[in-house]
Structure 1
Amino acid sequence: MKYIFSLVAFVSLNVFANDELKSTYFAFESDYMSNDASKYSQWLTDEYEIVQTMHVPGMGSDSRKITGQQMVGFMKKMNKPNSTPRSTFENTSVQLTDDTGFCATSNTTATTKVAGKDYEEKETRKVCFLKIKSDFKAVEHKIDVYYKKL
């Protein structure tokens, strides 16, 4: 009985920690998607960069890489939040990288028009964080966008 209680307690703590890490990711995503340069910049390490890859059927893939500071500059010029669907607890998973970090991965789906044609747009977002002092900071951000003609 003692072992069962220990196992239940361990699983419960693990679920709680997982939900807290997801909440950290959602706070980051909210600042990123709102195009709030001042809030977003507080999440970034000097090494942070975003790599976005677009995957278009029949045309191939194209990747773009920008630094966090470049993204902050773009955000200052934008006047409205990003309209891409937000992540949810159900479509987000967390993987611990070591004692000081984790990565969160989420998937969203939307429909969009490309050259006047309807496409399904599936987006996979992965952000890796490192604990610096008492805060988590983003070190890596990958976005893969897959298009499928409807």
Structure 2
Amino acid sequence: MRIEEFNALGAAEARAVVAPAARVGWWVDAVVAGRPYGSREAVLDAAAAEAVLWTSTDVAAALAHHPRIGEKPAGGGVEAELSRREQAAIVDRGPRDPGLEEAIAHGNRAYEARFERVFLIRAAGRSRKEILDELVRRLDNDPETETAEVADQLLQIALLRLEEALT
């Protein structure tokens, strides 16, 4: 969708474009309310500026729409389709390594036990090894540091999704 088309949408239709990026209601409303935008970059800048205000409650709400890394997203909703595409954009070369996949699954379980939420990372453009390395590294974070990292990863994913929607 071109920026002119996004600007011309009714509020409900514009919300439907923005919401799959990150299910944070007030943030979606703020991005929609900022219209008209002069460019796609202006939308992304506004979205990023608003996202710095995300609370841990906002992040938790948005995480509810993200599957575990390495698992096939369930369902047929917009978020599931976006997650399928994002996980398909992992840049591994060669055949899948079952040992690496099991290590990620084990890391997911350890992460969830430690932080009581799914491990979130922008998968697009990363290899499974890079994802595993980040998962292991982040297991050593204190809860406050990890919440900040999750918010940053959520923002990266949201901006990629908005950029795709407005291309």
Normalization by structure 2: what TM-score? 0.24
Larger relative contact order (CA 8 Å, sep ≥ 6): 2
Higher strand share: 1
TM-score, normalised with respect to structure 1: 0.26
Report which of the two structures shows the higher radius of gyration computed on alpha carbons: 1
